Structure 1
Amino acid sequence: MAAPRDAEIHKDVQNYYGNVLKTSADLQTNACVTPVTLVPKYIRETLKNVHEDVTSRYYGCGLVVPELLENCQILDLGCGSGRDCYVLSQLVGEKGHVTGIDMTEVQVEVAKTYLEYHMEKFGFQAPNVTFIHGCIEKLAEAGVQKESHDIVVSNCVINLVPDKGQVLREVYHVLKYGGELYFSDVYASLEVPEDIKSHKVLWGECLGGALYWKDLAIIAQKIGFCPPRLVTANLITVQNKELESVLGDCRFVSATFRLFKLPKIEPAKRCRVVYKGGITGHERELIFDANFTFKEGEAVDMDGETAAILKNSRFAPQFLFTPVGAELLAAQGCSGLETKDIIRDPFKLAEESDKGKPRHAPDGAGGCCGKKKSC
């Protein structure tokens, strides 16, 4: 997309989230409405501590809270009024740190206003949250250092940026090896037509800039990430008849993915893993993504791709790893990735959920479309 068009989109997004939207009641589609999901008690408790002026300016449809956050350095892309940052702040603890970046100055000022309030509420001696006014596709320019963060989160912001690849490249540079991007966003069932892309309201409401879902894996793997891991997905419906007519046959889904940046190593082999348990909020069961659930003490025969992620990320100390030969796997009726029906299509996962089938999704992971707007 040409630079002049990009600048126009940036201006429109800033205006939409800085001036047009005052509360969630101003939204014109349900793409940015939080679905009713079960939220673990430990996350509910953190939400109670967030000031109501911050939560009232939250336009999201879920929480982006991955597991095992203690002492982590986290970057929130498009932090908006800071709700997610203040939730994550409590979970990383005083030895961790959360940085939020957002292009909309009005939102950042709201977040900063309540910094002292939240630190006192959490009982922290020193602030463990920083807010930056800047662009998520220009993280280095905003002062975010290379390989400085364990986790990057984003709640429906990347779709608002014209150049998604540039955002992912910036994220890759600021992540440490073994780190991950845990993010929710809106995806389209096909390449979004130009008339939808150029519609200001549809772009502002997270649909016009949606990425064709198959393109995510292509872009991410070119940059160096592991293949995307689908966590959860929800179909989006549009109640506004006028907007619905513009969308035509293009369908949309909100989905949470996790992307890992691993060191350059030899391809991992299939192995058997046992979850030790003990992760806060997931002591007995860890739902890693839509395909793998680990129960405390139970052995799971694992494909090489997933084994590499577990072995080379912050999750490694939480598992026991045992090499398993192909012969043993075959004898036990488990041949790993080749026979497992790996779900990568968010529309397939969302449709299965609608049919009442069990959906593997961490409590509180939520969908997308956030209060936080990029640059």
Structure 2
Amino acid sequence: EIAMSCCKSERKAKDTVDDENVHKMVQDYYGKQLQSSKDLKTNACTSSGRPHDIILNALKEVPQPIKDRYYGCGSPLPFGIDGLHVLDLGSGSGRDCYVASKLVGEDGFVTGIDMTDEQLDLANSHIEEYTKTLGYEKPNIKFVKGYIEFLDKAGIESNSQDLVISNCVINLSPAKTRVVQEVYRVLKEGGEFYFSDVYCDRRIPSELRSHEILYGECLSGALYVEDFKRICHKAGFADPRIVSRSPIDVNDPELKELLGNCQFFSITFRLFKLPSLETVCEDYGQFAMYRGEISGHTHNYPLDDHHLFITNKPMLVCGNTAAMLSETWLAKNFHVDGFRDVHYGPFDCGGNSVEGPNTGKVVTATSSGGTSS
């Protein structure tokens, strides 16, 4: 945006619909108007690549009605989460909760929160059946009614969750900043927010934000990705990492004309609640080695879109990455050497820009410093 001042370029975009109307609009769209993912007018809410075999195998055991009413835009579930307490924001039909229920095992627990009665009724109706399918003695999954902006009112306590997931939901919230703040509150220190959502390559014009179909299709509520990163920083998530990104096609002629040059992406982020993280990657001469013990990642582990750790190979990492691998639920899967007593300057972690082409290129940390392709 040429000749725009710094202050203006960073101003917060305002929604043109109030919170109550947005909630009612979303409840009606997902509770009554949509009966299956086939009713969607774009692929924004269902845009994702082929799920990992572990997810596909888990999905085979999920009741079909749960899968039929699924509107997610990715697969926001990391592997190796056995025993963790997981919270799913805007759980909808409960599909991701059901899959997570299997991944965390009987020692873990999954909570889904949603504001739509129709979806909650569906999600709750299959818990007993699914518990028997998995062979568990008792359910390790529950669904509660509430708003993702007010997790406290739904009984979600501070520092109670190891992992928070969300699938194409935050863009539907009229109070996105509060959602991220609430996630930070309920996470334990070292916990993670791992989620997929829809983002735009620019700020969406205010006149489009009240368009009911565009909002329900996860488009007009999408944030400019750099604005979202600013929200993360303010909430305490100092180093947002992108795991994957894919373009979203808008094929409906009328909607395409309304959106003009706006380009949308389905992006999976991971955010760690770690006070030690810095806003810029710094070099402390630290090394990390992946042990190769996470299911589905025998030979390597992709921390994000530009950190691929080869099993049993020591790799030079920045201070933030070292913290993510040694001070979170991932710690048991990595060996990290070095401390922050000596600083060697900035560390180039690389990474792809959301505005650029999605090449799928993965960059690995190397023992010679910096990154290489």
TM-score by length of 1: 0.87
Q: Alpha carbons of 1:249 and 1:298: their partners in 2 closer, same or farther (altered >3 Å)?
A: same
The structure with higher relative contact order (CA 8 Å, sep 6+) is 1
Asked if residue 98 in structure 1 is aligned to residue 119 in structure 2, the reply is no
Pick one of 345, 354, 360 that aligns with 1:346. Answer: 354
**1 CA distance for matches of 2:225 and 2:340?**
35
Asked if residue 315 in structure 1 is aligned to residue 319 in structure 2, the reply is no
RMSD of aligned Cα (Å): 2.4
CA distances 1:301-338 after superposition (whole Å, capped 9, x unpaired): 001121121121111121122228999x9xxxxx8964
Which deviates more from structure 2 when the two are superposed, residues 312-321 or residues 27-36? 27-36
- Counterpart for residue 40 of structure 2: 27
**1 CA distance for matches of 2:239 and 2:277?**
15
Contact kept? 1:32, 1:206, Cα under 8 Å: yes
Contact kept? 2:199, 2:264, Cα under 8 Å: yes
Asked if residue 10 in structure 1 is aligned to residue 23 in structure 2, the reply is yes
**1 CA distance for matches of 2:131 and 2:201?**
43
Contact kept? 2:46, 2:71, Cα under 8 Å: yes
- Counterpart for residue 225 of structure 1: 237
Contact kept? 1:303, 1:336, Cα under 8 Å: no
- Amino acid of the residue matched to residue 347 of structure 1? E
Contact kept? 1:253, 1:347, Cα under 8 Å: no
Q: What is the CA distance between 1:340 and its match in structure 2? A: 4.2
Q: What is the CA distance between 1:126 and its match in structure 2? A: 0.5
**2 CA distance for matches of 1:193 and 1:147?**
37
Q: Alpha carbons of 1:196 and 1:46: their partners in 2 closer, same or farther (altered >3 Å)?
A: same
CA distances 1:111-161 after superposition (whole Å, capped 9, x unpaired): 000000100000000010010111000000010011000000000100000
Q: Alpha carbons of 1:32 and 1:336: their partners in 2 closer, same or farther (altered >3 Å)?
A: farther
CA distances 1:205-246 after superposition (whole Å, capped 9, x unpaired): 000100110012211111111210011001111001100111
Contact kept? 1:76, 1:85, Cα under 8 Å: yes
TM-score by length of 2: 0.88
User: Runs of 4+ in structure 1 displaced over 6 angstroms?
Assistant: 265-268, 324-327
Which deviates more from structure 2 when the two are superposed, residues 219-228 or residues 116-125? 219-228
**2 CA distance for matches of 1:339 and 1:244?**
38
Contact kept? 2:15, 2:210, Cα under 8 Å: no
Pick one of 346, 357, 361 that aligns with 1:358. Answer: 361
- Amino acid of the residue matched to residue 315 of structure 2? V
Unaligned 5+ residue runs, structure 2? Answer: 1-13, 364-373
Number of residue pairs matched? 348
Equivalent residues in 2 for 1:258-269, closer than 5 Å: 258-263=270-275, 269=284
CA distances 1:265-299 after superposition (whole Å, capped 9, x unpaired): 89883401111111111122111100101111111
**1 CA distance for matches of 2:338 and 2:83?**
30
Q: SS of the residue aligned with 1:358?
A: coil
Contact kept? 1:160, 1:206, Cα under 8 Å: yes
Q: Alpha carbons of 1:98 and 1:324: their partners in 2 closer, same or farther (altered >3 Å)?
A: closer
Contact kept? 2:236, 2:275, Cα under 8 Å: no
Q: SS of the residue aligned with 1:242?
A: helix
